[in-house]
Each structure stands twice: as structure tokens, then as C-alpha cells.
Structure 1
Amino acid sequence: MSTLPAHPPRRVLFLSHSHAFGAFRVGSHHYARTLASRGADVVHLSTPVSLAHRLLGRVDRTELSAVPDGAHRDAAGVTHLVPRTLLPRPYGGFRVARELARHGLPDRFDVVLIDQPLLWDESVRALAPTLVYRPTDLYPGRIKSTLQHRIIAAADAVVATSSEVRRALDPLPLPSIVLENGVDAARFAPLGAGPRPSACVYVGALDARFDRSQVDEWARDHPDVRFTVAGPHSGAPAATNNLELPGAVPYDALPALLTSARVGLLPLSDDPLNAGRSPMKLYEYLAAGLAVVARETPVLRSDDDAGIFTYDGTAGADEALRRALAHPTPNLAGARRAAAQSWVAKTDELLAFLATL
């Protein structure tokens, strides 16, 4: 069991890849909220939105309209800042310290946690006595890989979100731990104990890491099962009547959507970047009482008792889905497993690790 530090950090800065004003929530949002609830002064600065990306249509205008222009303190007490720049990072003259000062935010913190390599600049190191790199992904590309090396050279420790992400950093001359993503278990708790309908759901990004062809195949082979794929949609329309594509679903609406299904889907593509993912949806599905079907990776493995069924390629995908549909519903064993992975518990582990630094 983690031992909480006697003097936890009182002022914390997150430098994150994603802002909190869209349909998705990421680990830094949950850590920030949990720390703020314990009285810490938390600032969450995310990847700048550039004019170049807006002009090229790389930023959704509807989503951008929901993003405050300037510092915004939310109901949980976290101060969010989504900078606007002319050029995308790492180009242009953007500096984290300068942006904080421009909005009247603190220039000194107890700890800085950075998970977005593109937010690295020389000013970051001077913002706090403790700098922690929190990689959430594999970065084989040249720009992010170069910046990642610079962060590690300046950091005091590493908190990786999966063993695969941690392994990719070897040799690592810093203290490190693996702290997988958690879940807001209370938010996704099963609504009622009655049996669920024959329905499957996927919630998340519909990018190169998502295997749409596998979902289409499942839908064709199981016409009596309803499939819902929720996420920003710009691809092919549904090819079968039992496949629904509602688009992005607000975060607050996710519990109702998940608890209307029996199985949660994680149909990962063969993109090599999937090897290091610690998908937050795994525990959200389990917390909501769903069985889970996922493509197997070094991070995602079968656990029949908890209702997690994996497959390797298309050969075993149908069998994995059949087993998930036959699993007891709601999946109370899975919900108990998810409850042990709460963000409160993850925050306790994070603070205990920071205390050792």
C-alpha cells in the first residue's frame, strides 16, 4: 500500500497533450482534479491551438468554440489554459513561462508533470524544483523523439503509463515507475443490476489506431447485436442496419451510453503505436459493468474472470466477441476490478513516488 507524503505538493503544473473542453478526458485531467480536491493549486496547460491549424481545418471549429480564451478555473478548482499561437509547436516563439506570466499565473510550482513533448522548452526546467516526465505514448517520430530525449535529460523522474512505454525509454538514468491510467469508478458505476441487451459499444478516437473493418465484420456476422461506435466521425457510413455512428458523445453522457450495452469494444488496429497504449476505456467499460473485447497487445491481456477477452488478429476476434456476449451481465467482477484502479488510488501512488524524489 502506498504511503502518502507528509507534505504533498501544494502547487502543481501539468503540461498536457489534451485540453479538457472536448468529448475526451485524459489522465492529466483526472490527476489535476483529484489534486485540486485535496487543496492543491493546480494549473493545467495543454497543447496550443495554432492559427495555422485553424486555417488548414485541422481544428474542429465547434470544439474550439467551447474552449475558453485565456485562463479558466473550473468547478473542481483547476485552472486551465489552452494557448493560442500563430505557428504549431514546436515552431514559433512560444514559451511556457512566458505564457503563464501573460495570463497572470504562477511562475513557481512544487512540481511540473509534462506528458506532451511538444510543450518542452528551456523555460520549463526553471518552473519547479521537481520535473517529472509522464510519457503516455510511443514516439518514434523525429520531432517528438528528439524533444523527449531533451525532457529526460532535464527531468528528475519518469512516470510511464504502461510497461511498454517505459521499456521504450531504456536505458533510463532516472527513477521511474509505471502507473497505468485509472478510472472515475463512481461516475461509471452500473445503473441497476438487470441483464443488459445484446449491444456493443466503442467510445474514442476514430483514427489510424482504430480498426473500423473489424467492427464492420462483427456487425455483419452478428445482425441481432446492436453496435454503437461513438467518436468524431468523418469516415465511411454504416454498412449495416445494426451499426450506429452517433458522432462524438459528451463526456457527461458516457455513463448512460455505456450502461445501455453489454460489451465494450477496443478494436485496435495493427498500428505499432498501439503496443504501448494504456487505454482509459478499458477500466471505464469495466466500471460500467461491461465485458470487454480487445485486440491483444503487450499491455492488454485476457482475464476471463474479470470479463476481458482478447484476440490476436481477425482469426480469434469472433470467438472473443461471442465469449464476451455470453459473460454474466452486468459484469460485476469487472466493476470490482475497475474500482481498485480509481484515480484517487492512482493519485496516492503518484504522490508517494514524488515523495521519494
Structure 2
Amino acid sequence: MSARDVVFTFSYETYADAVHRGMMRPPDRILQTLMASDDVDGLLVANPFRSHFSVLGRRLRRDGPAFPESPRRRLVTPTRFRRADPIGKSIVRTYRGYDAALRREAERMGLRSPAVITTNPLVAAFCPFAWASSVTYFGRDDWPSSTGRQRYWPAYLAAYRQIRESEIAVAAVSQQIIDRIDPLGPRAVVPNGVEPEEWAGPVPPAPRWLEAIPTPRAVYAGTLDQRLDVEGIAQLAATRPDLHIVLLGPAPDPDYVRPLDRLPNVHVHPGVGRTELVSVLRNCQLSLLAHRRTPLTEAMSPLKVYEYLAAGLPVVSIDLPPIRGIDDRVLVAPSTGEMGATVDRALEIGAMGEDERSAFIAQHSWAARHRAILALTHRSELLPRCEEMPSLT
């Protein structure tokens, strides 16, 4: 397989956002692979649209991490007057403008019929990409199920139709996303994974704040938002006062988790860096996937489950389709509030042995995941795109 030129686009966050969070989300990991891959020659990385004024302000302040540019590696931030996407039919015209900005930058770099990999369904659907050799959409979430972006649901549904009808290649973290798009072109389920170097070696010392929490400790790591079943956590804590539940992650709305403050065996801690996260997980006794069951959570590939298992922990989870079959140490409970009996089974199973843990990490590495995505870009040949604007009706 000869090296080829690639264009990669983020969805709603930028390269600077990815660096600040430790390059830990699936799009960030894909970019890391592209930047290091011998199969990639020229690479154009595209941020989402930002306003003229915000980009100018950051340049004047010299905010954000520097992108490692070279003649064959470049970062571009297309700009417009408003940062937010418009509502309605003009969103198609907007993304044709995004296409033009990327084409100009690709031509400046001398990219030759690049393969496009995008994490934004609107980019995949509404950018013509007549200058590209192929387009692959990577779906990490089912956007029409995201309540935070409800006003764009008609645009996402129209994008799914366009992706399907244009036979654009689709890689998604779950079969549920594949089914909701129902692509006619190449497709592949590419679940989340882990970075082996992060999880290798002996158990590191526990942070002091974690050492102060009695065992057994059950950890939930991730953003403490509407996906977290707060009522279920409270019920589990009340029925299992011996179990100390550690909720680790940023809380965008502190009031959402405030009802848990009164529970002596629930410990809410802010988000931490990657090194400390690994230390926390490897010094707990079990882990929780305590989500509400919604169309969004039913379609996601929970990154935290792979990281829990990379730490060697048994997992107690609600029953979601993407967690089935990952590993025998993922135990299913009817709901978060009813996890008590399953917690006992998980504690009896205990942590993985080191050989088993190492084998799991190797099998589910990001490198293995991304080989499937790169293979998909080579299978996907861009069909002629309709010159008429896609309909949002």
C-alpha cells in the first residue's frame, strides 16, 4: 500500500482542544496515527469553522499549542463571521464554503487527490469534495440523538441520507450508528481502544486523595453530565454502604451531581490528567458504567470500558448493545440502582492477571483499530457527487 495524501477534519473541537485534553478521544487518536503513519504522505488537518474575530484574537495572544507543521503537515482553521452553524437550508451552502477553504489549502500544499477522513457528518455529506479521491466518515456519536444539539437534528438526518445515497464510506464506533446511517458504501465497526504505553508496567502509587478513600472502591471515570444516572448511583450507595463510589471527571453542571454530596460513600473528584487517571483506575477494585439508557448511550462505544479493562478491573454495567462481547469481566445489571448483587460477583472475580491484561491491551490497541479505518479509505472510491444542493426536507 503506497503512501497517500490525507485530509483530516475535526467535528466541533479543535486541535488545541485535543491537545489540552491529552489527545485521548477517538478523533484525537486517529490524528495521532495519521501523523505517525508511513502510509500517509501529505496531511492537512482542519479545525471546524471559527469566527474571524476569535481566530484573530488567538493569533494576537498567541494562544494554544503549536501544531508541528512542515511542508507536508499543516493545520488550517476555516473562518466565518459566526462560529455556530446556521439553522435550515443555508447550512448546506455553509459547508460548501468549508469545502472551498480546504481545497485551497490542499492545493497550496500540493496534495494529490487526497483521501478525506472526517468526524463531522455535515462535512461528509455537504462538502462536495470533487477534488478528493475518497471520503470516509468516522462516527463516534449518533449526533441526531444528542440532546445538546437538538436544533441540528434535521441537518444530521439529512446528512445521514446524503452519506447513504452518495455511498460514502462509514467507520463507526458501534453497529448501532452504522444501522442508523444504513450506508450503501463500505462500512466498518471500529470500537474504541487503548494506548498500550499508558497501561503497561506495575501498578503505580495511588494519589493521596484516593488513598484516603476506603476500599472496596468502585470508580466511574468520565464527564459527569446527563449520561450519568445520578439517582441510580444514590440508590446503589444506599443499598451498599460498604462500597465507596468514586466519580472522577469534570462536572459541566455542578448542580446535577450535587444531590450526591450528602452520601458518605460517594466521592466526587474533578477530572485529572492521563497519568493520574491510570493511577486511579489501577488502584480501584472495580469499575462502573452507570449511564442512563438513551438512544445516545445505546449507540456509543464506551471508551471508559476499554480503559477499565486495560487497568485490569472487572466492570459492572447497565445493558447496552456496544458493551456485549467485549470481555467476560463486563458484568451486566438491569440498572445502576440494581447493581448491588452484580458488584459482589465482580469483587469475587477480581483483577486480571498481568498476562491476561497485557493480552487485552494488545488486542484492543488504537493502532489495531486505525488499521481498519485506513484500509476503509483505500476501499472507498468517491462516486460522482450531485451538483444540486442536498435537501434538508
Smaller-chain TM-score range? 0.7 to 0.9
Instruction: Name the residue aligned to 1:30.
Output: 29
The percent of aligned pairs where both chains have the same amino acid is: 23
Distance 1:179 1:225, change over 3 A: same
Quote how far apart the aligned CAs of 1:340 are: 0.2
Aligned counterparts, 1:153-302, within 5 A: 153-170=165-182, 172-189=183-200, 191-192=202-203, 197-233=215-251, 234=254, 235-237=256-258, 238-301=261-324
1:149 matches 2:161: yes
Contact 1:290/1:334 (<8 A) preserved: no
Q: Distance in 2 between matches of 1:123 and 1:106?
A: 19
Q: Calculate the aligned-residue CA RMSD, in Å.
A: 3.6
1:307 matches 2:329: yes
Q: Distance in 1 between matches of 2:318 and 2:269?
A: 23
Q: Distance in 2 between matches of 1:326 and 1:89?
A: 51
Q: Supply the AA of the counterpart residue of 2:187.
A: S
Instruction: Name the residue aligned to 2:135.
Output: 131
- How many residues are matched? 337
Question: What SS does the corresponding residue of 1:224 show, helix, strand or coil?
Answer: coil
Distance 1:302 1:38, change over 3 A: closer
Contact 2:99/2:129 (<8 A) preserved: no
Distance 1:199 1:42, change over 3 A: farther
Distance 1:102 1:129, change over 3 A: closer
- CA deviation map 1:226-248 (0-9, x unaligned): 32212221223222223222222
Quote how far apart the aligned CAs of 1:272 are: 2.0
Q: Supply the AA of the counterpart residue of 2:142.
A: L
Q: Distance in 2 between matches of 1:263 and 1:13?
A: 37
- CA deviation map 1:288-329 (0-9, x unaligned): 1211111111221267x7411111225742222222222222
Q: Supply the AA of the counterpart residue of 1:232.
A: P
Contact 2:285/2:351 (<8 A) preserved: yes
Contact 2:216/2:244 (<8 A) preserved: yes
Q: Distance in 2 between matches of 1:331 and 1:90?
A: 52
Q: TM-score, normalised by structure 1?
A: 0.79
Question: What SS does the corresponding residue of 1:132 show, helix, strand or coil?
Answer: strand
Q: Distance in 2 between matches of 1:165 and 1:280?
A: 15
Q: Distance in 2 between matches of 1:139 and 1:229?
A: 26
| Range moving further from structure 2, 213-222 or 269-278 | 213-222
Q: Distance in 2 between matches of 1:213 and 1:51?
A: 43
Larger radius of gyration: 2
Instruction: Name the residue aligned to 2:371.
Output: 348
Quote how far apart the aligned CAs of 1:125 are: 1.6
Contact 2:310/2:357 (<8 A) preserved: yes
Q: Supply the AA of the counterpart residue of 1:198.
A: P
Quote how far apart the aligned CAs of 1:96 are: 2.5
- CA deviation map 1:53-94 (0-9, x unaligned): x9xxxxxxxxxx99739x7338xx975556665241245746
Distance 1:127 1:15, change over 3 A: farther
Q: Distance in 2 between matches of 1:321 and 1:66?
A: 49
Instruction: Name the residue aligned to 1:68.
Output: 64
Contact 2:205/2:279 (<8 A) preserved: no
Aligned counterparts, 1:8-27, within 5 A: 8-19=3-14, 20-23=18-21, 25-27=24-26
- CA deviation map 1:121-141 (0-9, x unaligned): 744523521101222222443
Contact 2:290/2:318 (<8 A) preserved: yes
Quote how far apart the aligned CAs of 1:145 are: 1.4
Q: Supply the AA of the counterpart residue of 1:218.
A: L
Contact 2:203/2:283 (<8 A) preserved: no
| Range moving further from structure 2, 263-272 or 93-102 | 93-102
1:88 matches 2:97: no
| Range moving further from structure 2, 293-302 or 90-99 | 90-99
Q: Supply the AA of the counterpart residue of 2:247.
A: V
In the alignment, structure 2 segments of 5+ residues that lack a partner are: 55-60, 145-152, 381-393
